[in-house]
Amino acid sequence: MEQQKNIRITEPSRWNGRMAWRVGWWLVGVWWILSGYGGGQARAKGSFRDYQKACEKGNPNGCLQSGYLLELGKKVPKDPQEALRMYLRACELKQARGCTDAGVMWAKGLVGKPSMMKALTLYEKGCAGRDHKGCFLWALWLEREKLTQPIAAAHQAYEKACTYGSGAACVLLGRRFASGRLAPRDPKRAAELFRRACLSRNDHEGCARWSIFLDRGVGGTADPALAQRNWKWSCEKKYGFACTLLGASFRDGRIGKPSPAKAAKMFRLGCRLRDPNGCMLLARLYEGGSGAKASQGKSSRQAQELYQKACRLGMHQACFTLAVNYEKGSGLRKNRDLSLKMYEKSCELGSGIGCYALAFHLQAGPPQISNEKKKKPKKNKKRSRPKKSSRSASAVSSPRPAYEVPEAKVLRLVQRACALGYALACKVEKIREP
C-alpha cells in the first residue's frame, strides 16, 4: 500500500514538472516576439530608436549602428545623407570605424560626387584611431599611387592593420615575405604572420598558408597532422587552395601511405573551387594514369581540359603546357597558331620560358607547305619503295620562312624573359649586346 501511494504521488509531480517547463518556454517565446527580438519590423525600428537615443546621449556605438541601418536600409528608410551624418558624429566621438565608414561612402560616391581626398583623410583618421579597416584601405591607396616611398609607407600601414586585427592584412604581408616580392624574403616572418591570421582572426587562407610552413617545419617544429587538420578546415570553408594542399599531402603520403584516389578527390574539389593548382595537379595525375578509372585516351582528353581550365584561371605553367602540346600534337591536334597563342598568354601571365619560346618560334616561322599533291601508290603485288623526287627533297630541306615580325618585338620578348628569371634568355641578351 505504501508503494502504491508513493507511485500515485510521484506520477502527477512528473507531469506537472513537464507542463511547467513547456509553459515557461511558451511564455519566453511570447515575450521574444512581443519585445521585438523575435524578428520583423518591430525589432529593427525599436533598435534604431534605441540607437538614436544612445547617439543623442553621446554614445559613439549608437551613432555607428544608426548609420549602418540608415546606409543599408535595414527595416528603416534608406537615407545615405543621414547615415553619413551619423558616421561623422561617431567619428567625432572617437569611434574610429565611423571615420572609415564615412570615408567609404565618399569613395563610392553614395553621397554625391566621389571624393577620394575626403575619403583618404577619413581613412587616415580611422587608422590613427586603431581601426584595421581604415589602415588597410589607406595602405591599398598608398600602394596604388606612385609616391616617393610607396612600398615602405604601405607596408607600415599593412603592419598596423595586421596588429589591429585584420586577417587579410596579415595574409597579404605574409605572402610578400614568403615570395620575396615587394618585401625582403623572410620565411619565419611569413609563417608568424600566417599563424597570427589563423589563430587570432580564424582566417581560412591564413590557416592554409601557415600549414605549409607547419608541414615543412619552417619557423618551428614540423607537425603534419595539425597541418592536415587546418587544410581540412579551410577546405570546408570553400577555400580551394587548401583542398589542393590537402590532396598533395595525401599524394605524397605525409601521414600514412600515399593515396592517389584521395589526392584526386581533393584536387578535383580544389579545381571545382577555382584553384588552378588543383586543376594542374589533377591533370598530371590523369596523365600519369592514376586518379581516373578510364581508358588512356579519355584520361588524356580530361587532362587537356583541365590544363585549359587552369590556363583560364591564370596559371602560366598550364598555358605553357598547352602550347607545347599543341606544338607537338601530344593529346591535341597540331595547331601552330594556337601554340603561339598559348605561348603568348603564358608570357603575359609571367612565364619567362613562355616569352623566350614565343620569341624563338616567331623568328623560326611556320613550316613551308609544299603545293605538290601526294600521289596514291598503285596496288601491286610486290611492294616497291617510292622514289623521292628531287623537288620534294628540296622542299623539305629548304629553310622555313619567318613571320613578318619586327626584330624589336623579338628582342623585347627576350628581355622580358630575362627579367622574369629565365637564365638562357639573359645569356642571349648578353650575346646581342655590342
Question: Residue 249 to residues 74, 198, 205, 245: CA-CA distances in angstroms?
Answer: 46, 20, 17, 6
Q: Where in the chain is the domain with CATH 1.25.40.10?
A: 39-122, 130-223
With 70 as the cut, is the pLDDT of residue 349 above it?
yes
Q: Supply the pLDDT for residue 392.
A: 37
Burial of 407 (0-12, 13-18, 19+ CB in 10 A): exposed
Residue tagged 627579367 (cell numbers): 419
> What average pLDDT score do residues 194-201 get?
90
With 50 as the cut, is the pLDDT of residue 12 above it?
no
Contacts of residue 393, Cβ cutoff 8 Å, sequence gap at least 6: none
| Entry pTM | 0.72
User: How many other CB atoms are found less than 10 A from the CB of residue 304?
Assistant: 19
What topology is assigned to 130-223 in CATH?
1.25.40
C-alpha cell at 323: 602550347
- Taking CA 123 as the corner, what is the angle to CA 121 and CA 124, rounded to the nearest 5 degrees? 65
Which helix (H) or strand (E) segment holds residue 350: the answer is none
Q: What values do phi and psi take at 74, rounded to 5?
A: -80, 95
Spell 385-398 as b/e; 16+ CB within 10 A means b: eeeeeeeeeeeeee
C-alpha cell at 132: 584595421
Question: Residue 169 to residues 36, 131, 177, 387: CA-CA distances in angstroms?
Answer: 38, 12, 12, 72
DSSP string covering 168-200: HHHHHHHHHHHHTSSS---HHHHHHHHHHHHHH
DSSP string covering 14-50: HHHHHHHHHHHHHHHHHHHHHTTTTSSHHHHHHHHHH
- What is the percentage of the chain residues whose pLDDT exceeds 70? 76
Measured distance CA(306)–CA(102) in Å, rounded: 45
Q: Supply the pLDDT for residue 74.
A: 82
Q: Is residue 349 within 8 Å of 372, Cβ to Cβ?
A: no
With 50 as the cut, is the pLDDT of residue 39 above it?
no
Contacts of residue 287, Cβ cutoff 8 Å, sequence gap at least 6: 299, 300, 303
Q: Supply the pLDDT for residue 19.
A: 61
Q: What is the DSSP letter of 223?
A: -
Contacts 24+ apart (CB under 8 A), 148-153: 151/182, 151/183
Measured distance CA(19)–CA(23) in Å, rounded: 6
Q: Is residue 315 within 8 Å of 349, Cβ to Cβ?
A: yes
Q: Supply the pLDDT for residue 298.
A: 72
Measured distance CA(244)–CA(264) in Å, rounded: 9
Kindly report, residue by residue over 293-334, the tens digit of the pLDDT: 544 567 788 999 999 999 999 999 999 999 999 999 988 899
> In terms of CATH architecture, what is 39-122?
Alpha Horseshoe (1.25)
Q: Higher pLDDT residue, 23 or 275?
A: 275
With 50 as the cut, is the pLDDT of residue 2 above it?
no
Among 175-184, 321-330, 380-389, top mean pLDDT goes to: 321-330
Measured distance CA(341)–CA(335) in Å, rounded: 10
Spell 21-52 as b/e; 16+ CB within 10 A means b: eeeeeeeeeeeeeeebeeeeeebbeebbeebb
With 60 as the cut, is the pLDDT of residue 21 above it?
no
Kindly report, residue by residue over 73-88, the tens digit of the pLDDT: 887 889 999 999 999 9
In single-letter form, the type of residue at position 69 comes to L
Q: Supply the pLDDT for residue 145.
A: 74
> What average pLDDT score do residues 99-107 get?
94
Q: Higher pLDDT residue, 135 or 201?
A: 135
Contacts of residue 238, Cβ cutoff 8 Å, sequence gap at least 6: 273
The helix/strand/coil state of 25 is: helix
Q: Higher pLDDT residue, 9 or 307?
A: 307
Contacts of residue 296, Cβ cutoff 8 Å, sequence gap at least 6: 289
With 90 as the cut, is the pLDDT of residue 154 above it?
no
Q: Where are the alpha helices (DSSP H) in 35-95?
A: 41-56, 60-72, 80-92
Among 93-102, 180-189, 210-219, top mean pLDDT goes to: 93-102
